Copies of this chain bind each other. A is one copy, B any other.
Amino acid sequence: MESRNYANELELDYLFHPQSLAIIGLSSDSNRMNIGQEYLQALLSFGYKGKIYPVGLGGGEIFGIKIYPSIKDIPDTVDYVISAIPAVHTIPLIADCAGKGVKAIQIFTAGFSEIEDEEGGNLQAQLVANAKKTGIRIIGPNCFGLYCPKIGLTFPGGIPDGGDTKSGSVGFISQSGGNGAFVIREGVARGIYFSKVISYGNACDLDEIDFLEYLAHDPETKIITSYIEGIKEGRKFIQTLREAAKLKPVIICKGGTSDSGARAAASHTGSMAGGGVIWSSLLKQMGALQVNSMEELLDIVLLFMHVVPPKGRNTAIIGVGGGASVQAADVCSNAGLVVPALPAEIRRKLKECYTSEVGGSFRNPVDMYWGRRDLFQETIRMVASCEQIDLLIIHAGFTLGLSQEQEQVRQITEDIISLKDEIHKCTVVVLDSIWVPESKKATIETQRVLNNAGFPFYFSVSQAANALSKFIQYHQVANM
């Protein structure tokens, strides 16, 4: 690859704020949904604030909007182009775009360097050469493109359920479009909002380095997250990552760490995935936090959003149920947290409180009786004030299928939130659920209330313990 001219990080801001865009590849037949139509529909329903010009050879209308036979026919400047036409037709498109003053083209179409045939690689090389001549930047090919809720820019699948258009502080750079759509929908459902989401696919021009540099300096982005399959310029990537990680937390999920995953990555985005072990140590050295899945990525984002880093790994588990407590202790220990016995003094105090109640164990996990709301709050206060404890996991281990279980959890949730100003230690909440609709629905409501109140919520102890352990490790490395 030739030497590259690094865009100033803020220079790329125009990508996320086009005042007008054209979608190439539309037909007026609304009964036969194609990708171009899906883009148009997504932008309309997400409320894109600029002008949209559909383009398609046949002309006509779609959703009541005029289709121009060619981009050249549009009586306006066009900042940004979304192309969903076959790979081979993409090449001549570049020159037409240049004529209209287009600054960037996002190419959805696949069939470039990721396919096994030589043809794909040749097409991609032509694409890059043409773009270079004109100065137009390319996002993709083989990608979903950009999501910027502030101006209503999005892609098919990239709309939170319920149509929530709120903007947030998390940026996501993804080589996979599916993962882009996933984090938007799952993230918003869990109270995580994004500044920008970028699906960049084969990265023939703009790549993870450009976007990493951009997000590192984007004032709207406080936390950088990423799904990467492969990089092409190792040295520059490392340098950029190191700089970015100094400015903001950078959380990266590396796809293709196994041999078969790497083979799949080559088919997916034409990436050379590189060995898993090398990546792990590299990311750690650069000060980035590596995760193994999109769920884990979101789990850890919640911690960066809401809690102060714990000083150590000493964890108190406040839970319900003997077996659940035993298993929670095992799970936390296996995840690298420490579950120390509480000091005798606190155990004595707790025992005094619960003297009239049946059962209960106060060593840690604190397995207590949930019926008494005053005791519940007092227990949390006491445990949180314990010097030896660095963080709290409140494990409301209910199955939540029944209305009385749901009522109890509503009370617990209220009680936890009302302690917000009193607990100054990292505190997360776990609520198990079972696969019945009422249980999942109640869990969804509870997690939203707690996440919005600043208490990271997890669906299992192991999910919480794993996220906390990585979060603590990240801060320990950073402080070394």
Interface residues of A (CB under 8 A from B): 109-111, 114, 142, 161-162, 174-179, 181-182, 185-186, 189-190, 227, 229, 255-261, 263-265, 267-269, 273, 292-295, 320-334, 338-341, 358-359, 361, 363-365, 367, 397, 399, 401-402, 432, 434-441, 443-444, 447, 459-460, 462
Contacts and interface: CB of A to CB of B under 8 A. Distances in A.
Given A181-B399, A293-B462, A323 B260 contact: no
Contact of A327 (B162, B263, B293, B435): B293
Nearest to A257: B330
A416 to B, nearest CB: 19
B324 A178 contact: yes
Given A268-B323, A326-B265, A260 B189 contact: no
A447 B435 contact: yes
B440 A437 contact: yes
B190 A323 contact: no
Contacts of A460: 295
B178 A322 contact: yes
Contact of A189 (B273, B330, B434): B434
Given A330-B255, A361-B268, A367-B268, A434 B325 contact: no
Contacts of A358: 109-111
A472 to B, nearest CB: 17
B436 A176 contact: no
B268 A325 contact: yes
Contact of A330 (B256, B443, B459): B256
A371 to B, nearest CB: 10
A178 B320 CA distance: 9
20 contacts: A176-B322, A178-B323, A178-B397, A179-B324, A185-B436, A229-B323, A229-B326, A255-B330, A259-B333, A260-B340, A260-B365, A261-B329, A263-B341, A264-B328, A264-B361, A268-B361, A268-B367, A435-B447, A436-B444, A441-B441
